[in-house]
Amino acid sequence: MAAFSKFGLQQPNFITAFDPGDFSDSDVYFYDEAQYRKCLEPIRNILVSRVIGLVDLPSATWATCLDFYERLNFDLDDEFARSAWIRPRELSEAEISLFLKHRAAWKEIADASSPYGIVAEDDILFFDHSGAYFDKLIANLPADFDYIDLVGGCGLRPRIGDRVINEIFFETCIPSDRTSCCALISRGFARRLISLDLPICLPIDWTLTLAFQLTKARVYWLEPPLFAHGSEMGIYRSGIR
């Protein structure tokens, strides 16, 4: 709380509901492999192409990475055999908790009078310049944005081929988030997220990428980031890993 005051930022509204242990998993979630496959299929090319971009084609555009992967023409079971990290699995209690908290945050933004809101997980860290940078990004928001990833992670950064707005906003040619750590979400998109009523099936960051595809969302990555991602830096221990 003190950090927000230090940088002149509005105090956040903490979502304290849905902590692990506050709900019964069986009341909100059940593992269904068929549903997992159905939700993953439209986005697994995006997820895997990001890995290809990081490992195999570090200098290629994201569109080139996606095209490279799609030319391989693997079916879903082929990909499960190749990539253990996307195989069907049951979500943990912490992942369910995170999903429910994000959904509650979308509802608050959807019902608010402000045209946008920021959803941040509790592992963000402030830079010395975060306050001034926040003022700059708010003054220069793209007019058409639905979702802006403010922190990033997973080694994912904008590349040549991404449309640049006001020097710091990069529209991803393949709409996806980087992590779910911190994002600015328009009220209109929050309402679409609530209307979609996507099942608790995939991790929340993958669920957002699915929502982007279903709604044809305009997604931007902020570069450089507004905050640091504490768990990726090893400052905090991730609660879902």
Residue 187: CB atoms within 10 Å: 17
Exposure of 212 in the CB half-sphere (CA atoms within 13 A): 25
Residues 135 and 71 in one domain: no
- The DSSP 8-state label assigned to residue 150 in this structure reads S
Place of tokens 């220069």: 140
What pLDDT does 236 receive? Answer: 58
Average pLDDT of the chain, as a whole number: 92
Last residue of a domain, one of 41, 61, 86: 86
- C-beta separation of 88 from 33 below 8 A: yes
For CA atoms 52, 151, 174, 162, give the dihedral sign: negative
From 86, 101, 133, give the residue that closes a domain: 86
Q: Over 80: is that where the pLDDT of 8 sits? A: no
Whether the predicted pLDDT of 27 surpasses 80: yes
Beta strands 182-186 and 116-120 are: antiparallel
Domain carrying residue 169: 90-229
What does the pLDDT read at residue 21? Answer: 87
Is 33 inside any structural domain?
yes
Domain end position, chosen among 71, 86, 101: 86
* Residue 236 to residue 228: CA distance in whole angstroms: 11
Q: Are residues 74 and 95 in the same domain?
A: no
Q: What pLDDT sits at residue 123?
A: 86
Q: Are 132 and 113 within one domain?
A: yes
Of residues 151 and 25, more confidently modeled: 151
Number of domains in the chain: 2
Residues 68 and 97 in one domain: no
> What average pLDDT does range 145-169 have in this prediction?
95
Least confident of 27-31, 160-164, 207-211, 232-236: 232-236
**195-238, pLDDT tens digit by residue?**
999 999 999 999 999 999 999 999 999 999 999 887 776 665 65
* 109 and 219 both lie in a single domain: yes
* Amino acid 13: pLDDT: 87
Instruction: Say if 235 falls within a structural domain.
Output: no
Q: In whole angstroms, what is the distance from residue 231 CA to residue 125 CA? A: 10
Q: How far apart are the first and last CA of the chain?
A: 26
229 by Cβ neighbours in 10 Å (0-12 / 13-18 / 19+) ranks as buried
User: What is the number of residues in the chain?
Assistant: 241
Joined tokens for residue 124: 């963000």
